[in-house]
Amino acid sequence: MRNSRGERVFYTLNTVILSLFALSCILPMVHLLALSFSNQDAIVSGLVSLWPVGFTAVAYDKLVNGTQIVKALGNSIEITLVGTFLNLLFTLLCAYPLSRGYMYGRRFFTLAIVFTMLFSGGLIPGYLLVKSLGLINTYGALWLPGLVSVYNMLVMRTFFMGIPEELVEAARIDGCGEWRLLFRVFLPLSLPVIVALGLFYGVGHWNSFFNVLMFINSPEKFNLAVLVQQMIQSQSLLQEIGTMSPEDFASITPESIKSAGVVVMIVPMLILYPFLQRYFIKGILIGAIKG
């Protein structure tokens, strides 16, 4: 069936508008990448746009050898992997019982959890709570307060509620208890939702900035987000890099090193996302419409 003229115009406008939005997101990253690989003269002269001018990788060399970028990268990976695992585990353990109709007080607990989406204790009480638990300057302060996202839990709960009861009854006839039912039946079926929610949690931990500044005191425990922010705000970045020689000062600029730091921060997520995209889209759609 052929599209009408109005539909063709609508689809064309949609394509143009979405393409412009996509370019507005992609072009700044391409520009940063070009800056990080360009020499000093080209950057100072404003000749760099979307392609490196005077290609050089000295900014990355000084970034790796003269800053704490490698340590911060390791910290970000640790925060993201452990935090995402804990988030998914406890979201799973919270969503499963709330999806079962025979759980006593299910409605009360669901409403109590949803209530926290609207009201929270506030910044200062939250800090005092973390301090009283002895979590200041530990990564536990980043993981425990946001252990379960209410929105993500509701998405997973909705998916669990859409699993046919016949499948659950067949598993019980085969002798499955609650734990085996959860990890042998529900968990394999919920892979798309788990990957989608894991991506949400992972990006949140990877970009964690305010919580790190608030709860982490030791610079050696900072993640990439905080380190790159400090580099961007630094007024004497080149003087702070310990491996700089007089020749280096003449060959690179603070802008090239800052751009290299931003590139190092965003590239891991850009590499990971294409492999998870199909699970991401499928998981969000299933979790949103089932039940």
pLDDT digits (tens, 9 = 90+) for 263-276: 888 888 888 877 77
Distance CA 120, CA 238 (A): 43
Distance CA 61, CA 5 (A): 56
Contacts of 290 (CB under 8 A, 6+ apart): 158, 159, 161, 162
Distance CA 147, CA 158 (A): 19
Cα 149 to the center of its chain, rounded Å: 13
Any idea what DSSP says for residue 121? -
Residue 129 DSSP SS3: helix
Distance CA 147, CA 209 (A): 17
Residues of the chain with pLDDT under 70: 1, 235-251, 277-291
Give the end of a domain, one of 34, 56, 78: 56
pLDDT given at position 32:
87
Q: Exposed, middle or buried by CB within 10 Å (0-12, 13-18, 19+), for 19? A: exposed
Phi then psi for residue 121, to 5 deg, are -70, -20
pLDDT given at position 289:
45
Phi then psi for residue 116, to 5 deg, are -70, -15
pLDDT given at position 193:
86
pLDDT given at position 51:
86
Domain count, the chain: 2
Give the end of a domain, one of 35, 56, 77: 56
Question: According to the 3-state scheme, what is the secondary structure of 140-171?
Answer: HHHHCCCCCCHHHHHHHHHHHHCCCHHHHHHH
2 lies in the same domain as 106: no
Cα 9 to the center of its chain, rounded Å: 36
152 lies in the same domain as 188: yes
pLDDT digits (tens, 9 = 90+) for 219-255: 889 998 888 888 877 766 665 665 555 555 556 777 8
pLDDT given at position 291:
42
- Structural domain for 147, as ranges: 57-289
71 lies in the same domain as 213: yes
pLDDT given at position 14:
92
Distance CA 188, CA 182 (A): 9
Q: Are 31 and 48 contacting, i.e. CB atoms less than 8 angstroms apart?
A: yes
One-letter amino acid of 138:
T
pLDDT given at position 257:
82
114 lies in the same domain as 246: yes
Distance CA 27, CA 7 (A): 30
CATH of the domain at 265: 1.10.3720.10
Residues in the chain: 291
96 lies in the same domain as 20: no
pLDDT digits (tens, 9 = 90+) for 63-89: 888 778 889 899 999 999 999 999 999
Q: What is the CA radius of gyration of the chain?
A: 24
Contacts of 237 (CB under 8 A, 6+ apart): 231, 254, 257, 258
Question: pTM (2 decimals)?
Answer: 0.82
48 lies in the same domain as 144: no
186 lies in the same domain as 65: yes
Q: Exposed, middle or buried by CB within 10 Å (0-12, 13-18, 19+), for 80? A: buried
